Amino acid sequence: MSPEKPAPDARHCRVALIDYEFGNVRSVANALEVLGAVVQLSRDEEVLHQADALILPGVGAFADGMANLRRFGLIPVLERLVLDEKKPFLGICVGMQLLAKTGWEGGHHAGLGWIDAEVVRFEVEQTHNLKVPHVGWNNVRTIRDSALTGAVDVAHTFYFVHSYYLRCNEPNIVAGTCEYGIEFPAIIQQGNIHAVQFHPEKSQKHGLALLSSFLTLVTTAKESPAC
């Protein structure tokens, strides 16, 4: 019997944090560097092309995030790298929401349209006596096996800060859900596109474990022969 192939070494994985001047990215970079990744904050097309993976963080309003992506000419670059070249991608918080077709924060705004979803506000103040925004620790239950989540029907705690959530019309891409008056997608995965509503960089050991899983899948993809 042949020996098992060793797990890929995610250290030195080159990760580009997309710089669109939207939110504090230092904590994301710190978490990735703790895991051994080589991190660069950039919006330079060549740097993004050379990276093994792309991460789109984001803290703020949907419309402002889209406006900044357009202002820096990043939308066609990201479409080519992620949709056409299938570079591994992770969206965090608003970086997840921007993948939707449309968002309703401060009006009706077009998103990237990479997934069939819209971003809507929590309406739980009256119906469930809950405060908006949803801030703090909450359980995420995995409902589908994916490279980020591992086993199905396992709950881990992550840190959330958001008033809007993803209403997804493609239930098959939802890998993890959270409850806050209603059940909403907390983790999605569609091919090489991964995204989370919570902040893994602020979620201690479970957040680091999720980021480590992302780096491992990036390294696996990097080592796999081209089709």
Q: What residues have CB less than 8 Å from 16, skipping those under 6 apart?
A: 39, 40, 41, 42, 47, 48, 51, 53, 54, 55
Q: What residues have CB less than 8 Å from 150, skipping those under 6 apart?
A: 142, 213
Six token digits for residue 18: 């997309």
CA atoms within 13 A on the CB side of 144: 14
The pLDDT value given to residue 218: 95
Q: What is the pTM of this model?
A: 0.93
Spell out the domain ranges in the chain. Answer: 14-107+116-223
Q: How confident is the model at residue 197 (pLDDT cuts 50, 70, 90)?
A: very high
The pLDDT value given to residue 4: 37
Instruction: Return mean pLDDT, the chain.
Output: 92
The pLDDT value given to residue 166: 97
pLDDT digits (tens, 9 = 90+) for 69-97: 999 999 999 999 999 999 999 999 999 99
The pLDDT value given to residue 108: 95
The pLDDT value given to residue 175: 96
Q: How confident is the model at residue 12 (pLDDT cuts 50, 70, 90)?
A: confident
pLDDT digits (tens, 9 = 90+) for 130-174: 999 999 999 999 999 888 887 666 789 999 999 999 999 999 999
Look-up of token digits 């949709």? 83
Taking residues 89-110, what's their average pLDDT?
97
pLDDT digits (tens, 9 = 90+) for 39-69: 999 999 999 999 999 999 989 999 999 999 9
- In percent, the amount of the chain with pLDDT more than 90 equals 83
Report the CATH number of the 14-107+116-223 domain: 3.40.50.880
CA distances from 112 to 83, 96, 148 (A): 11, 10, 22
Catalytic residues: 93, 199, 201
The pLDDT value given to residue 159: 97
CA angle (54, 214, 69) in 5-degree steps? 25
With the C-alpha atoms ordered 204, 207, 211, 212, is the resulting torsion angle positive or negative?
A: positive
Taking residues 110-132, what's their average pLDDT?
96
Check if the beta carbon of residue 31 is closer than 8 Å to that of residue 207.
Answer: yes
- In percent, the amount of the chain with pLDDT more than 70 equals 92
Six token digits for residue 166: 């993803």
Q: How confident is the model at residue 222 (pLDDT cuts 50, 70, 90)?
A: confident
